[in-house]
Amino acid sequence: MNSEKENTDTRSKEETITILCAKTAGQYQILKINTLQNLKKKSKKQKDLPFELTLWNFSAFALIAKINMNIRAILFLILVFLAGGLFFAFRVSKQGNQNPGKIQVATSFYPLYFFTTQVGGDKAQVFNITPASAEPHDYDPTTKDIAKVQDSRMIVLNGGKLESWGNKIRDNLKGSKTLVIVAGDSLATRELSENGKKIQDPHVWLDPTLAKQEIEKIKEGFIKVDPANKAYYEKKASDLEKKLDQIDSDFKKGLANCQQKDIVTSHAAFGYLAARYGLTQIPISGVSPDQEPSAQKLTEIADLVRKNNIKVIFFESLVSPKLSQTIASETGAKTMVLDPIEGVAPQDLKNGVDYIKLMNQNLENLQTALQCQ
């Protein structure tokens, strides 16, 4: 009876320890340690079982420890692989969704962005540094903007001190692969007096004739960095210049016979346009729209509006219309938009608004305000 019980107890201890481990080739092997069989070879006595079991358990734990070390090594290799993948992803992110088949070009603000995209066509990937709805006079590029400029083949600036950061970035790019084009170089010849100082007027893009010269410089830049596609850039530039010729013709005809020649603007952005078509600009603010006029100047402008029977005070889409509205309220005039096209609201861009459409809209508003026939 006791013998039977011993056999039963012994059989109850007949358990197999199964360990799952990974081999180098990535396959799995099941290692079986049959404790009872080894015990029977070494001892016939049940009292020896605990000691023998301890030895075999120790061996099993040693094996498990060894397997764990191998697993740690495999995990380390996996982590190294993942780290490499993350580094690669970071590099791709830093380069920004660049199309390797196109020339990356940076532009300082919207008009140059528009001209550059039109000339570059499907050969160029153009990004604009100043956000579409931001005012370029006071915008400073971010670290990300600067990194993208350094990765670009060409950057197009306006010059005329429009970009407060322009000289600095030009210095930083000396000796680099990035070609710097200052489209308004030698074109910004007008000066204004502000607080006893002479200030250069950079708003050349509002004169279609000067804008064509900016387009020519952009075209030459493309040809310099991509001479193989010279004919393509010449054709694209010519097509755009024809559109500006049409705008110039429309302005000349549309403003030829008007009762008024004075335009009161929110800031001094329309000097080149006014000079081209025989108008007189009366700016409320200076070259930068952020410059607040004195109370005396506001009074002088209001008196001039009454004296010259000016019917419309112009304001801009990207800056507060408060000053224009104040003068209009005091003089009984109306307000209308005259856009300096320094930027375009994101929603307007989605709706297809561009430089050409805004110039045509400016002409329509000028004809209304100046009572043209």
Question: What digits encode the pLDDT tens for the residues 213-265?
Answer: 999 999 999 999 999 999 999 999 999 999 999 999 999 999 999 999 999 99
Per the structure, the complete domain to which residue 55 belongs is given by 2-95
CA–CA gap between residue 275 and residue 187 (Å, rounded): 14
**Res. 32: pLDDT tops 70:** no
Whether residue 109 is found in the same domain as residue 237: yes
Q: Is the pTM for the entire model greater than 0.85?
A: no
**Res. 330: pLDDT tops 60:** yes
- How far does CA 277 lie from the centroid of its chain? 36
Whether residue 145 is found in the same domain as residue 129: yes
pLDDT at 70 (0 to 100): 62
Whether residue 195 is found in the same domain as residue 329: no
Whether residue 171 is found in the same domain as residue 293: no
Poorest-confidence range of 47-51, 164-168, 217-221?
47-51
**Res. 368: pLDDT tops 90:** yes
Whether residue 209 is found in the same domain as residue 142: yes
CA–CA gap between residue 168 and residue 185 (Å, rounded): 16
Whether residue 51 is found in the same domain as residue 166: no
CA–CA gap between residue 268 and residue 274 (Å, rounded): 11
- What backbone torsions phi and psi does residue 216 show, to the nearest 5 degrees? -60, -40
Whether residue 193 is found in the same domain as residue 314: no
**Res. 298: pLDDT tops 70:** yes
Whether residue 304 is found in the same domain as residue 332: yes
Provide the residue count of the chain.
Answer: 373
Whether residue 221 is found in the same domain as residue 327: no
End position of a domain, from candidates 188, 215, 250? 250
> What's 346's domain CATH number?
3.40.50.1980
Whether residue 110 is found in the same domain as residue 217: yes
Whether residue 180 is found in the same domain as residue 267: no
Residue type, 230: K
Domain count, the chain: 3
- The single-letter DSSP state of residue 168 is H
End position of a domain, from candidates 31, 66, 95? 95
Over range 67-74, report the average pLDDT. 62
Residue type, 272: Y
**Closest alpha carbon to 277 in 249, 310, 242, 244:** 249
Whether residue 127 is found in the same domain as residue 148: yes
**Res. 79: pLDDT tops 50:** yes
pLDDT at 82 (0 to 100): 61
End position of a domain, from candidates 60, 95, 130? 95
Which residues does 188 contact at the CB level (< 8 Å), separation at least 6?
158, 159, 160, 200, 201, 202, 204
Using a 10 angstrom Cβ sphere, with 0-12 exposed, 13-18 middle and 19 or more buried, the burial of residue 282 is buried
Over range 158-178, report the average pLDDT. 93
pLDDT at 101 (0 to 100): 84
